[in-house]
Amino acid sequence: MVREFIRIVTSERLIGPKIQDGTFRKKVIEPTWHCPDGYSRLCLNIKNCDIEILTPPERNSEMVVLQLHGGGYIGKLKNAYRDFAKFYSDMRGGMKVFTLDYRVAPKHPYPAALKDAYQAYCFLKGLGYRGRQIILAGDSAGGGLALALCGYLRDQGLELPSAAVLMSPWTDLTASGASYEENYTKDPLFGNTRESMIYNGEYYGSHDPSDPYISPLFGEFTGFPRMLFQVGSIEMLLSDTTEAVKKAREAGCEVKETIYDGMFHVFQMAMNRMPESEKAWEEVAQFVNGVQEFSLGTVQK
Protein backbone atom coordinates (compact mmCIF):
# COMPACT_ATOMS: atom_id res chain seq x y z
CA MET A 1 0.00 0.00 0.00
CA VAL A 2 2.81 2.40 0.86
CA ARG A 3 4.68 1.58 -2.35
CA GLU A 4 1.55 2.19 -4.40
CA PHE A 5 0.92 5.49 -2.62
CA ILE A 6 4.46 6.67 -3.40
CA ARG A 7 4.09 5.54 -7.01
CA ILE A 8 0.82 7.46 -7.44
CA VAL A 9 2.20 10.63 -5.86
CA THR A 10 5.41 10.60 -7.90
CA SER A 11 3.51 9.95 -11.14
CA GLU A 12 0.93 12.68 -10.52
CA ARG A 13 1.39 15.43 -13.11
CA LEU A 14 1.35 18.45 -10.81
CA ILE A 15 3.72 17.39 -8.04
CA GLY A 16 5.33 14.20 -9.34
CA PRO A 17 8.07 15.89 -11.40
CA LYS A 18 8.85 18.25 -8.49
CA ILE A 19 9.41 15.27 -6.22
CA GLN A 20 11.56 13.35 -8.68
CA ASP A 21 13.75 16.24 -9.86
CA GLY A 22 14.36 17.47 -6.32
CA THR A 23 12.34 20.70 -6.41
CA PHE A 24 10.16 19.48 -3.55
CA ARG A 25 13.23 18.80 -1.39
CA LYS A 26 14.54 22.31 -1.97
CA LYS A 27 11.37 24.25 -1.26
CA VAL A 28 9.27 22.24 1.19
CA ILE A 29 8.25 24.22 4.28
CA GLU A 30 7.65 22.21 7.43
CA PRO A 31 5.97 23.02 10.74
CA THR A 32 8.12 23.65 13.79
CA TRP A 33 9.52 20.44 15.24
CA HIS A 34 8.60 19.96 18.88
CA CYS A 35 11.25 18.40 21.04
CA PRO A 36 9.82 15.43 22.99
CA ASP A 37 9.19 15.92 26.69
CA GLY A 38 12.31 15.42 28.76
CA TYR A 39 14.67 15.84 25.81
CA SER A 40 16.63 19.00 25.08
CA ARG A 41 17.73 20.43 21.74
CA LEU A 42 20.53 22.91 21.26
CA CYS A 43 21.11 24.55 17.87
CA LEU A 44 24.57 25.91 17.11
CA ASN A 45 26.36 27.45 14.17
CA ILE A 46 29.81 26.07 13.36
CA LYS A 47 31.38 28.26 10.69
CA ASN A 48 29.42 27.67 7.45
CA CYS A 49 26.84 25.20 8.77
CA ASP A 50 24.52 24.45 11.67
CA ILE A 51 24.37 21.52 14.04
CA GLU A 52 21.58 20.38 16.34
CA ILE A 53 22.37 18.53 19.56
CA LEU A 54 19.66 16.30 21.00
CA THR A 55 20.14 15.12 24.57
CA PRO A 56 17.84 12.44 26.06
CA PRO A 57 16.38 12.59 29.59
CA GLU A 58 18.94 10.05 30.77
CA ARG A 59 22.41 9.79 29.30
CA ASN A 60 24.14 6.53 30.17
CA SER A 61 26.70 6.45 27.39
CA GLU A 62 29.57 8.75 26.45
CA MET A 63 29.32 7.50 22.89
CA VAL A 64 27.66 9.96 20.51
CA VAL A 65 26.04 9.85 17.09
CA LEU A 66 26.97 12.23 14.28
CA GLN A 67 24.03 12.14 11.89
CA LEU A 68 24.38 13.21 8.25
CA HIS A 69 20.95 13.60 6.69
CA GLY A 70 19.78 12.61 3.23
CA GLY A 71 18.10 14.72 0.58
CA GLY A 72 20.21 14.23 -2.54
CA TYR A 73 22.70 16.91 -1.44
CA ILE A 74 20.07 19.50 -2.40
CA GLY A 75 17.67 19.26 0.55
CA LYS A 76 18.37 20.82 3.94
CA LEU A 77 17.69 19.18 7.29
CA LYS A 78 14.05 18.06 7.65
CA ASN A 79 11.92 17.03 10.61
CA ALA A 80 12.18 13.35 9.69
CA TYR A 81 15.86 13.44 10.65
CA ARG A 82 15.04 15.08 13.94
CA ASP A 83 12.78 12.08 14.52
CA PHE A 84 15.70 9.85 13.52
CA ALA A 85 17.83 11.64 16.11
CA LYS A 86 15.31 10.82 18.80
CA PHE A 87 15.46 7.14 17.87
CA TYR A 88 19.26 7.18 17.97
CA SER A 89 19.35 9.04 21.29
CA ASP A 90 17.38 6.26 22.99
CA MET A 91 20.00 3.66 22.09
CA ARG A 92 22.77 2.55 24.47
CA GLY A 93 20.61 3.68 27.40
CA GLY A 94 20.70 7.27 26.21
CA MET A 95 23.31 9.26 24.29
CA LYS A 96 23.71 12.61 22.59
CA VAL A 97 23.01 12.94 18.87
CA PHE A 98 24.62 15.66 16.77
CA THR A 99 22.69 16.25 13.54
CA LEU A 100 24.49 18.32 10.93
CA ASP A 101 22.62 20.71 8.66
CA TYR A 102 25.28 20.99 5.96
CA ARG A 103 25.31 23.34 2.98
CA VAL A 104 23.56 21.99 -0.10
CA ALA A 105 23.64 22.34 -3.90
CA PRO A 106 23.07 23.99 -6.26
CA LYS A 107 24.19 27.07 -4.30
CA HIS A 108 26.86 25.08 -2.49
CA PRO A 109 28.01 22.12 -4.61
CA TYR A 110 30.85 19.73 -3.81
CA PRO A 111 33.01 19.96 -1.74
CA ALA A 112 30.82 22.04 0.60
CA ALA A 113 28.98 19.10 2.18
CA LEU A 114 32.19 17.14 2.75
CA LYS A 115 33.90 20.18 4.27
CA ASP A 116 30.95 20.69 6.61
CA ALA A 117 30.92 17.02 7.63
CA TYR A 118 34.63 17.26 8.41
CA GLN A 119 34.02 20.47 10.34
CA ALA A 120 31.32 18.76 12.41
CA TYR A 121 33.65 15.85 13.14
CA CYS A 122 36.35 18.30 14.25
CA PHE A 123 33.76 20.07 16.41
CA LEU A 124 33.10 16.81 18.26
CA LYS A 125 36.82 16.24 18.63
CA GLY A 126 37.08 19.75 20.05
CA LEU A 127 34.51 18.83 22.68
CA GLY A 128 36.79 16.03 23.80
CA TYR A 129 35.32 13.07 21.93
CA ARG A 130 37.70 10.62 20.36
CA GLY A 131 36.89 8.95 17.07
CA ARG A 132 36.22 5.73 18.93
CA GLN A 133 33.38 7.47 20.76
CA ILE A 134 31.66 8.62 17.56
CA ILE A 135 29.12 6.60 15.58
CA LEU A 136 28.33 7.96 12.11
CA ALA A 137 24.77 7.64 10.82
CA GLY A 138 23.56 8.60 7.38
CA ASP A 139 20.88 7.79 4.84
CA SER A 140 20.90 8.23 1.07
CA ALA A 141 23.19 11.19 0.31
CA GLY A 142 24.03 11.33 4.01
CA GLY A 143 25.14 7.71 3.87
CA GLY A 144 27.41 8.43 0.93
CA LEU A 145 28.72 11.50 2.73
CA ALA A 146 29.48 9.39 5.82
CA LEU A 147 31.58 7.03 3.70
CA ALA A 148 33.28 9.95 1.95
CA LEU A 149 34.11 11.41 5.36
CA CYS A 150 35.64 8.11 6.46
CA GLY A 151 37.80 8.07 3.34
CA TYR A 152 38.87 11.67 3.87
CA LEU A 153 39.76 11.10 7.53
CA ARG A 154 41.78 8.02 6.67
CA ASP A 155 43.60 9.76 3.84
CA GLN A 156 44.52 12.59 6.22
CA GLY A 157 45.87 10.12 8.75
CA LEU A 158 43.18 11.00 11.28
CA GLU A 159 41.30 8.76 13.71
CA LEU A 160 38.12 7.29 12.21
CA PRO A 161 34.79 6.83 13.99
CA SER A 162 33.98 3.57 15.74
CA ALA A 163 31.08 2.52 13.50
CA ALA A 164 28.70 3.67 10.78
CA VAL A 165 24.98 3.11 10.14
CA LEU A 166 24.24 3.46 6.42
CA MET A 167 20.65 3.45 5.15
CA SER A 168 20.39 3.19 1.35
CA PRO A 169 23.66 5.11 0.94
CA TRP A 170 24.14 6.95 -2.35
CA THR A 171 27.65 5.73 -3.14
CA ASP A 172 27.65 5.99 -6.94
CA LEU A 173 26.68 9.35 -8.43
CA THR A 174 27.57 8.05 -11.90
CA ALA A 175 24.48 5.79 -11.67
CA SER A 176 26.45 2.93 -13.19
CA GLY A 177 25.15 0.06 -11.07
CA ALA A 178 23.02 -2.76 -12.47
CA SER A 179 20.05 -1.88 -10.26
CA TYR A 180 19.63 1.48 -12.03
CA GLU A 181 18.36 -0.57 -14.95
CA GLU A 182 17.03 -3.69 -13.22
CA ASN A 183 14.87 -1.70 -10.77
CA TYR A 184 14.06 1.16 -13.13
CA THR A 185 10.41 0.12 -13.47
CA LYS A 186 10.12 -1.10 -9.87
CA ASP A 187 11.40 1.89 -7.90
CA PRO A 188 8.34 3.97 -6.90
CA LEU A 189 10.40 7.05 -6.01
CA PHE A 190 13.13 7.45 -8.64
CA GLY A 191 12.05 4.98 -11.31
CA ASN A 192 10.55 5.48 -14.78
CA THR A 193 12.14 8.87 -15.38
CA ARG A 194 15.51 10.12 -16.57
CA GLU A 195 14.76 13.53 -15.06
CA SER A 196 15.19 12.16 -11.55
CA MET A 197 17.43 14.06 -9.16
CA ILE A 198 19.88 11.15 -9.19
CA TYR A 199 20.80 12.06 -12.76
CA ASN A 200 20.92 15.86 -12.62
CA GLY A 201 24.45 16.25 -11.22
CA GLU A 202 23.76 19.39 -9.19
CA TYR A 203 26.02 18.26 -6.37
CA TYR A 204 29.18 17.36 -8.27
CA GLY A 205 28.82 20.12 -10.87
CA SER A 206 32.04 20.38 -12.89
CA HIS A 207 33.82 17.73 -10.80
CA ASP A 208 34.27 14.11 -11.82
CA PRO A 209 31.34 12.17 -10.30
CA SER A 210 33.60 9.13 -9.92
CA ASP A 211 35.84 11.03 -7.48
CA PRO A 212 35.83 8.83 -4.31
CA TYR A 213 34.99 11.86 -2.15
CA ILE A 214 31.82 12.24 -4.26
CA SER A 215 31.12 8.59 -5.06
CA PRO A 216 32.75 6.51 -2.30
CA LEU A 217 32.10 3.34 -4.29
CA PHE A 218 35.10 4.20 -6.46
CA GLY A 219 37.43 4.61 -3.50
CA GLU A 220 39.15 2.21 -1.15
CA PHE A 221 37.52 0.97 2.06
CA THR A 222 40.69 -0.16 3.79
CA GLY A 223 40.68 0.86 7.45
CA PHE A 224 36.99 1.79 7.54
CA PRO A 225 35.06 1.16 10.76
CA ARG A 226 32.45 -1.46 11.46
CA MET A 227 29.43 -0.80 9.22
CA LEU A 228 25.74 -1.67 8.97
CA PHE A 229 24.18 -1.31 5.51
CA GLN A 230 20.40 -1.41 5.02
CA VAL A 231 18.71 -1.15 1.63
CA GLY A 232 15.43 -1.99 -0.10
CA SER A 233 15.35 -4.69 -2.76
CA ILE A 234 13.39 -2.63 -5.31
CA GLU A 235 15.25 0.66 -5.20
CA MET A 236 17.46 1.87 -8.01
CA LEU A 237 20.24 2.51 -5.50
CA LEU A 238 20.36 -1.17 -4.47
CA SER A 239 23.69 -1.74 -6.21
CA ASP A 240 25.11 1.32 -4.45
CA THR A 241 24.92 -0.79 -1.31
CA THR A 242 25.69 -4.27 -2.64
CA GLU A 243 28.79 -3.13 -4.54
CA ALA A 244 30.03 -1.02 -1.63
CA VAL A 245 29.56 -3.96 0.74
CA LYS A 246 31.52 -6.18 -1.64
CA LYS A 247 34.43 -3.74 -1.74
CA ALA A 248 34.36 -3.23 2.02
CA ARG A 249 34.52 -6.96 2.66
CA GLU A 250 37.36 -7.35 0.18
CA ALA A 251 39.18 -4.64 2.15
CA GLY A 252 38.75 -6.64 5.34
CA CYS A 253 36.09 -4.45 6.95
CA GLU A 254 33.52 -5.79 9.39
CA VAL A 255 30.24 -5.36 7.55
CA LYS A 256 26.63 -6.33 8.11
CA GLU A 257 24.27 -6.00 5.13
CA THR A 258 20.50 -6.41 5.16
CA ILE A 259 18.39 -6.18 2.02
CA TYR A 260 14.74 -5.66 2.93
CA ASP A 261 12.49 -7.41 0.43
CA GLY A 262 10.07 -5.17 -1.44
CA MET A 263 11.24 -2.03 0.33
CA PHE A 264 11.83 1.37 -1.24
CA HIS A 265 14.40 4.10 -0.67
CA VAL A 266 14.90 4.96 3.02
CA PHE A 267 11.77 3.10 4.10
CA GLN A 268 13.03 3.61 7.66
CA MET A 269 11.25 6.98 7.59
CA ALA A 270 8.08 5.06 8.45
CA MET A 271 9.66 4.62 11.89
CA ASN A 272 7.44 2.29 13.93
CA ARG A 273 4.40 2.74 11.70
CA MET A 274 5.37 -0.04 9.30
CA PRO A 275 6.61 -3.53 10.28
CA GLU A 276 9.61 -3.50 7.94
CA SER A 277 10.73 -0.09 9.16
CA GLU A 278 10.26 -1.08 12.78
CA LYS A 279 12.37 -4.19 12.17
CA ALA A 280 15.07 -2.11 10.51
CA TRP A 281 15.27 0.24 13.49
CA GLU A 282 15.48 -2.73 15.83
CA GLU A 283 18.44 -3.94 13.79
CA VAL A 284 20.05 -0.50 14.00
CA ALA A 285 19.59 -0.47 17.78
CA GLN A 286 21.14 -3.92 18.08
CA PHE A 287 24.09 -2.82 15.95
CA VAL A 288 24.62 0.48 17.81
CA ASN A 289 24.21 -1.14 21.22
CA GLY A 290 26.85 -3.68 20.24
CA VAL A 291 29.55 -1.09 19.53
CA GLN A 292 32.23 -1.29 22.20
CA GLU A 293 31.95 1.52 24.73
CA PHE A 294 34.93 3.83 24.86
CA SER A 295 35.26 6.59 27.45
CA LEU A 296 38.06 8.97 28.37
CA GLY A 297 36.17 10.76 31.12
CA THR A 298 37.23 14.15 29.71
CA VAL A 299 34.31 14.99 27.47
CA GLN A 300 32.64 18.35 27.98
CA LYS A 301 29.14 17.79 29.36
How many whole angstroms separate alpha carbon 32 and alpha carbon 37? 15
Catalytic residue among 69, 162, 196, 265: 265
Q: Is 287 helix (H, G, I), strand (E, B) or coil?
A: helix
Active site (annotated) includes residue 235? yes
168: nearest Cα among 226, 88, 237: 237
How many whole angstroms separate alpha carbon 89 and alpha carbon 92? 8
Catalytic residue among 52, 61, 62, 140: 140
Catalytic residue among 52, 62, 202, 235: 235
Q: Is 225 exposed, middle or buried (0-12, 13-18, 19+ CB in 10 A)?
A: buried
Q: Provide the residue ranges of all domains of the chain, joining segments of one domain with +.
A: 46-289
Locate the DSSP E strands across 150-225. Answer: 163-167
* pLDDT tens by residue, the chain, 301 residues: 776 666 665 665 545 555 555 565 666 778 899 999 999 999 999 989 999 999 999 999 999 999 999 999 999 999 999 999 999 999 999 999 999 999 999 999 999 999 999 999 999 999 999 999 999 999 999 999 999 999 999 999 999 999 999 999 999 999 999 999 999 999 988 888 776 768 889 999 999 999 999 999 999 999 999 999 999 999 999 999 999 999 999 999 999 999 999 999 999 999 999 999 999 999 999 999 999 887 665 445 4
Provide the CATH number for the domain formed by 46-289 in this structure. Answer: 3.40.50.1820
